[in-house]
Structure 1
């Protein structure tokens, strides 16, 4: 295991006309699980390849266990990588695929056999050792690819979207397997994905990337509950955060956001907001579970009276959709509490957890 530190890592192509990485600064401790998440083209795979040594960087430094490995050849960095395509040798058995890297390093046969047995037991593929890749399912092939990396016991593991070729059910199963494996081995891991569910469930630390920059770096809880900007708030969360355009107004020494429902205007109190922000336009961000629904007769606490447009059962909960200020809004409720489409509902926001963004820059206002 080893700590990983990226210091102002930049990557440019063609006379610096295209900058794929724009000064990446990340540090994780030994044994931590880092997720690089973002949309296609954000630079996460380029950064992964740079860590592995498969891609030269233009400036900055990559340090592993305190040693600068920026100029070190890939084979000498003591890093194991699991690819999206599995990259198994089709003519070799599972046993031979797992053992291949150890044989290249001229590891004694007794040690190779012990490592193959250890990894096969860990990944529950002992019964597959004599089969070839063509005889395996996608999930089994992925386990073999992981086993080949695990057999080496390197300082750092890199996973490049390893589950993207699997069906939805198998992705969930393999996600659990990867998390259990990390909990057992406590290996330092960097994992690239565009799937924010994988990011939230697997990582100790998450780096949300866009256009070659890290938009936010923190724990999954920090990323979800305290997004740094509009992009992070919109990318992380399923269903995504609601974004409602509002005007901020001053009322009796506090700031409120004006919201229009079916029966006219209502207001959302924002007691902790800087009074200097009153008078400006903003984007009110609130997650579906931060909105409560009640019967219109339950008016002890002010709310926003709105007619339900769509009811979407998902099994463990039900999603309600309505419209505020001309914008679709989603509320998550328990199945037994769900009204019907067309019913009027009084919506209440947990304003302590709501966030505000600047409409032009997307930066966080509160």
Structure 2
């Protein structure tokens, strides 16, 4: 196990080109599972390659256990990588694929055999050791690729979108296998994905990236409940957070948010909101499960159900508020039908406010006027 720290890491492919990585600052403790998540082209795989030594950084430093490894060759970094494409040798058996790196390091045959046996038991592929990669399913090939990395017992494991080539059912199964494996081995791991469900379920820490910049870094719970900006709020969560254009007005000396639909309107109390927000273009953010249906004394907005999507564990109902489609998560046995009118309530302490122009998170009404810097990382340059 090892600590990993990235200090002001930058990556550029030449003058005149935009930086692929911009001032990356990250630090994880020994044994932690870090997720790098973001859309295609955001720089997460480039960052992974820089950690592995497959690409040189243009500035900054990468430290493992406090030692700067930025100038080391890949073979000297004691880091194992599992690629998206498996990268297995097609003419070698499973046993030979797993043992290949150990043979290169000139370990004794008995030690190699013992290590292959250990890894095969861990990944439950003992019955596949004599087969060639072409005789394996996608999930089995991914296990072999993981086994080849595990056999090295490195300080750090790197996974570059290892499940993206698998079907949906197998992705879920392999996700569980990877989590169980990490719980057993407790090895420091960096995992790249564009799948926010993988990010939420696997990681101890999550770094959300966009355009080469880390938008937010924290635990999955912090990322989900206290997103730093509109991008993070919309990217993390399935279905995504609702974003509703909002106008603020004063009522009896206090600020309220105005919600309108074809069936009614309401004034949402926003206690603790800074008066300077009056007149600004705002976006109200609230997650589908936090839109309540007739559940108490809170002000309610009446809205007609336009679409219902049963998913099994719940039902998603779509309505229109402030001329925007809004998703509500209902119980699976909800009697609601298309055309019904629902009384919807927003818990004030669950509502988030964002600046419509910059996308910056402003506050959580009912909690604090401005989000604490320790909990919400502001975008650089705003």
Q: TM-score range by the shorter chain?
A: over 0.9
Instruction: Show CA shifts across 1:253-282 (max 9, x none).
Output: 432110102233211111132233223220
- Alignment partners' CA distance in 2, 1:250 and 1:25: 42
- Alignment partners' CA distance in 1, 2:328 and 2:83: 38
2:298–2:347: 8 Å Cα contact kept in structure 1? no
Instruction: Show CA shifts across 1:83-123 (max 9, x none).
Output: 00000001111011001000000011111111111110000
Instruction: Show CA shifts across 1:315-346 (max 9, x none).
Output: 00000000001100000011122400000110
Report the 3-state secondary structure (helix = DSSP H, G, I; strand = E; otherwise coil) of the residue aligned with 2:54: coil
Instruction: Show CA shifts across 1:52-80 (max 9, x none).
Output: 00001100000011100000000000000
Name 2:352's counterpart in structure 1: 355
How many pairs were matched up? 363
- Alignment partners' CA distance in 1, 2:259 and 2:299: 12
The alignment's TM-score, normalised by the length of structure 2, stands at: 0.93
1:253–1:275: 8 Å Cα contact kept in structure 2? no
Name 1:291's counterpart in structure 2: 291
- Alignment partners' CA distance in 2, 1:338 and 1:273: 36
- Alignment partners' CA distance in 2, 1:104 and 1:300: 70
Q: Does the alignment pair 1:227 with 2:224?
A: no
Unaligned runs of 5+ in 2: 364-382
The alignment's TM-score, normalised by the length of structure 1, stands at: 0.97
2:229–2:360: 8 Å Cα contact kept in structure 1? yes
Name 2:203's counterpart in structure 1: 203
Equivalent residue for 2:319, pick from 309, 317, 322: 322
- Alignment partners' CA distance in 2, 1:239 and 1:338: 21
The offset of 1:300, in angstroms, is: 4.9
- Alignment partners' CA distance in 1, 2:8 and 2:292: 44
Per the alignment, do residues 211 and 338 of structure 1 end up closer, same or farther by CA in structure 2, a change over 3 Å counting?
Answer: farther
- Alignment partners' CA distance in 1, 2:217 and 2:31: 17
2:157–2:188: 8 Å Cα contact kept in structure 1? yes
Report the 3-state secondary structure (helix = DSSP H, G, I; strand = E; otherwise coil) of the residue aligned with 2:349: coil
Report the 3-state secondary structure (helix = DSSP H, G, I; strand = E; otherwise coil) of the residue aligned with 1:75: helix
Name 2:329's counterpart in structure 1: 332
Per the alignment, do residues 300 and 209 of structure 1 end up closer, same or farther by CA in structure 2, a change over 3 Å counting?
Answer: closer
Name 1:136's counterpart in structure 2: 136
Note the 1:149-298 alignment, pairs <5 A.
149-294=149-294
Name 1:344's counterpart in structure 2: 341
Report the 3-state secondary structure (helix = DSSP H, G, I; strand = E; otherwise coil) of the residue aligned with 2:348: coil
Q: Does the alignment pair 1:122 with 2:122?
A: yes
Range moving further from structure 2, 39-48 or 243-252:
243-252
Range moving further from structure 2, 4-13 or 336-345:
336-345
Structural RMSD (CA)? 1.1
- Alignment partners' CA distance in 2, 1:234 and 1:338: 29
Report the 3-state secondary structure (helix = DSSP H, G, I; strand = E; otherwise coil) of the residue aligned with 2:42: coil
- Alignment partners' CA distance in 2, 1:17 and 1:105: 40
The offset of 1:17, in angstroms, is: 2.1
- Alignment partners' CA distance in 2, 1:302 and 1:186: 48
Q: Does the alignment pair 1:57 with 2:57?
A: yes
Note the 1:71-86 alignment, pairs <5 A.
71-86=71-86
Report the 3-state secondary structure (helix = DSSP H, G, I; strand = E; otherwise coil) of the residue aligned with 2:361: coil
